[in-house]
Amino acid sequence: MEVLVNDKQLLVSHSLAVRIGVEEALFLQLLHYRLEKNGVEKEGHIWYRQTYEGWAKQCSYWNITKVKRLITKLERYQLILSSNKLNSFFTDRSKWYRIDYEKINKLLQKKVYTQEELFPEEPKLREKKKTKPNNDPSNDIATIIHYLNEKTNKHFNEHSKTSNRLIKAILNEGYTVEDCYLVIDEQVRNWMHDPQMYKYLRPMTLFRSGNFESYLNNALARMQDNDYVPAPVVLDFDEGDYE
């Protein structure tokens, strides 16, 4: 127990954690600390500049992929605001971050529902309902493939083992069908009219784990800032889509 007492402590707001998650609240606490200690005033707000790699070094208990997902989630919640327009050089990979404290205060005023309030007891319904929930993602995968075909005018097979494996892995990581739509729309926008890149509008490129996360981050960034550089394509010629 001595180590637990004397070691460095991680501070997290309980009220915020029950609303957005422990890790998300922990990251916000870290950003708040950095804004107070190393913040820079720009455009009437206090900002903190950092790269994903820099965040990962500060948060050694998370890798870069985890840091990106946390930041992206908080950006989508609009609890943190980020921009690369404040950089002096176009090649600068860092971003500037600030917290929307007004939105956090509004969030903290919302009621937190208990499990009993969210899921009231219904004994009769529970006795009749004995079937297990359907966790089969095949319908979602088919929907995503159909959406890709519609947007690209191609004919990928929804039963392709490679495509199913890649998309299922993406969904198992916590991404949604809407995230897949967003990636498809973004890359169609970038590649549809490029003869060299059009051929890469395919499941094995779009839904490969490393590619997908970069494309999704680019799509989300474009929703906030149209000035960004598309992520490079990672190609793999050992797998196919038309099995």
The pTM of this model reads 0.48
pLDDT, the chain, mean: 81
Give the helix/strand (H/E) hosting 50.
Answer: strand 45-50
The Cα 242–Cα 162 span in angstroms is 9
Torsion of CA 161, 162, 166, 172, to 10 degrees: 20
Tens of pLDDT along 154-204?
999 999 999 999 999 999 988 899 999 999 999 999 999 988 899 999 999
pLDDT of amino acid 168 = 93
- If we measure between CA atoms, which residue out of 140, 99, 130 comes closest to residue 16? 99
Burial class (CB in 10 A: 0-12, 13-18, 19+), 243: exposed
Looking at residue 158, the DSSP 8-state letter turns out to be: T
pLDDT of amino acid 99 = 95
pLDDT of amino acid 107 = 86
- Other Cβ atoms within 10 Å of 62 Cβ, number: 17
Low-confidence ranges of the chain (pLDDT < 70): 1-7, 90-91, 113-136, 224-243
pLDDT of amino acid 127 = 47
